[in-house]
């Protein structure tokens, strides 16, 4: 008996894949695998209902803790892609690993997904699966299916596909973010209404301040209350979402080169990323911060590609780990008008001394203000010299623009 493990959500794409895997690929049995990375309970109920109606062997794997851990790693890397926090991208390799485990445990011959040939997720799933010796199948991509065709096919086959927004928007939800695309949202000029949002309210005039505590770059508490990663993310999604924090409407460049319209909600991610970067600005030197931007950008790119286990990631995280040993402290965030704005920060590792920076103190420790005179003379020296030489070559009357040297006499 041949068996295939299918990434199964119970939605249109994966429901249609079940009979196609049997009819077109000849598999005797399809095993549905739903991986919990923080989706709404309604999605699990739909998956269970659909699996039962299809007489499908169905497994649910709880991977919320693993996913939350990866999300917190992304905070330490200040990870965003073209301005928005990585969510779906980070969830896919976690889901793929869980499905592969089930496939191998149940002696499956293949793994399958319902992704199209236009998106990023096919690449993220298969980067994990192709490390195994199992066959990889993508019915929607390989048969060139459209959503309209799938709806018609489901109707003809009397498949248990619910209505709702399945034919209008494509929605992906996990702990870290909620993405909405498709329908009118595919038009760059279309202004979406409030109906597309679920996690965030329309920004209003009220505000609230909270304090986030970090240890070694990891968020560990909110307002002094320690929380496990999943609970902390859930809490901040609820609190920050009330103030409209974490909405993104953008044109995104996918890995395959397509430019697409995307809408996202990510309140907790926005709050934590803003707070973390603020704390880093207090405890890291300028050189560390400048170099870490390069490291963070590379981490973000590999994360977007779903290659979280790439050798490069291990090397990048070695640097990140070293810097995060001092990213311990608290940040006060104000939620207001759709923003999560840092308004206070504190750490015992602060590279800061109020007496040095204050305009009310005369000197900086043993360094006097007069000691800066020499630095000021040298600052811009080459620029002034270059301007003088250029004027001389052009035949203009050059001025002596450097301290202690008159280049016009040469």
Residues facing 261 on adjacent strands: 251
Token digits for 68?
A: 């939350």
Tell me, yes or no, if 321 is annotated catalytic.
no
* Residue 114 in marked binding region: yes
Separation CA 170–CA 118 (nearest Å): 14
Contact 34, 58 (CB under 8 A): yes
* Residue 27 in marked binding region: no
Among candidate residues 212, 269, 208, the one with its CA nearest the CA of residue 239:
208
Which sign does the torsion angle of CA 266, 267, 272, 277 carry? positive
Pairing label, strands 57-62, 170-173: unpaired
Among candidate residues 303, 281, 33, 18, the one with its CA nearest the CA of residue 177:
303
* Residue 14 in marked binding region: yes
Radius of gyration of the chain (CA): 27
Other beta carbons within 10 Å of 248: 18
Among candidate residues 391, 381, 388, 383, the one with its CA nearest the CA of residue 407:
388
Of 13, 36, 172, 296, the catalytic one is 13
Angle at alpha carbon of residue 240, lines to 271 and 344, rounded to 5°: 50
* Residue 13 in marked binding region: yes
* Residue 264 in marked binding region: yes
* Residue 217 in marked binding region: no
* Residue 207 in marked binding region: no
Contact 110, 137 (CB under 8 A): yes
Tell me, yes or no, if 253 is annotated catalytic.
no
What is the number of residues in the chain?
A: 410
Separation CA 131–CA 126 (nearest Å): 8
Tell me, yes or no, if 297 is annotated catalytic.
no
Of 73, 74, 76, 92, the catalytic one is 92
Token digits for 340?
A: 């999560």
How far is the first Cα of the chain from the last one, in angstroms, to the nearest whole number? 92
Of 36, 73, 74, 170, the catalytic one is 170
* Residue 12 in marked binding region: yes
Of 121, 172, 178, 326, the catalytic one is 121
* Residue 130 in marked binding region: no
Tell me, yes or no, if 121 is annotated catalytic.
yes
* Residue 116 in marked binding region: yes
Contact 240, 270 (CB under 8 A): yes
CB-based contacts of 79, cutoff 8 Å, min separation 6: 85, 86, 273, 296, 299, 300, 303
Token digits for 322?
A: 């070293």
* Residue 124 in marked binding region: yes
* Residue 141 in marked binding region: no
Separation CA 278–CA 272 (nearest Å): 10
Contact 124, 96 (CB under 8 A): yes
Residues that constitute the known binding site for L-citrulline: 84, 120, 124, 170, 179, 252, 264
Feature table: binding site: 7-15, 84, 114, 116, 120-121, 124, 170, 179, 252, 264
Known binding-site positions for L-aspartate? 116, 120-121
Which residues are catalytically annotated?
A: 13, 92, 121, 170
Binding residues for ATP: 7-15, 114
């Amino acid at each position: 008996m041949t068996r295939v493990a299918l990434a199964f959500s119970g939605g249109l794409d994966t429901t249609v894949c079940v009979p196609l895997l049997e009819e077109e690929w000849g598999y005797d049995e399809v095993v549905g695998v739903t991986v919990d990375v923080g989706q709404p309970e309604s999605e699990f109920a739909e998956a269970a209902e659909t699996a039962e109606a299809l007489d499908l062997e169905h497994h649910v794997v709880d991977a919320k803790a693993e996913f939350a851990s990866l999300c917190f790693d992304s905070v330490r890397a200040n990870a965003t892609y073209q301005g928005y926090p990585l969510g779906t991208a980070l969830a896919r390799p976690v889901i793929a690993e869980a499905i592969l485990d089930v496939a191998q445990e149940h002696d499956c011959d293949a793994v399958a997904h319902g992704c199209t040939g236009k998106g990023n997720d096919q690449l993220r799933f298969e980067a994990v699966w192709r490390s195994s010796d199992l066959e990889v199948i993508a019915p929607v991509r390989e048969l060139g299916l459209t959503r309209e065709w799938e709806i018609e096919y489901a109707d003809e086959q009397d498949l248990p596909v619910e209505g709702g927004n399945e034919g209008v928007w494509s929605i992906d939800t996990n702990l870290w973010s909620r993405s909405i695309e498709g329908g009118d949202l595919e038009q760059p000029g279309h202004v979406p209404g409030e109906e597309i949002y679920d996690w965030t309210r329309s920004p209003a005039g009220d505000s609230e301040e909270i304090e986030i505590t970090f240890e070694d770059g990891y968020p560990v508490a909110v307002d002094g209350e320690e929380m496990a990663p999943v609970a902390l993310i859930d809490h901040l999604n609820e609190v920050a979402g009330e103030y409209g924090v974490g909405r993104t409407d953008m044109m995104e460049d996918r890995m395959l080169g397509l430019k697409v319209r995307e809408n996202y909600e990510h309140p907790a991610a926005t709050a934590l990323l803003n707070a973390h970067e603020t704390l880093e600005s207090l405890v890291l030197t300028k050189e560390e911060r400048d170099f870490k931007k390069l490291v963070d950008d590379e981490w973000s790119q590999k994360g977007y590609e779903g290659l979280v286990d790439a050798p490069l990631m291990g090397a990048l995280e070695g640097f990140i780990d070293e810097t995060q040993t001092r990213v311990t402290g608290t940040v006060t965030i104000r939620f207001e008008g759709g923003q999560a704005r840092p308004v206070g920060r504190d750490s015992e590792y602060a590279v800061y001394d109020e007496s040095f920076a204050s305009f009310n103190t005369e000197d900086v420790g043993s360094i006097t203000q007069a000691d800066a005179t020499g630095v000021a003379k040298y600052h811009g020296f080459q620029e002034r010299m270059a301007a003088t030489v250029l004027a001389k070559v052009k035949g203009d009357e050059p001025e002596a623009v450097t301290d202690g040297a008159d280049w016009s006499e040469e």
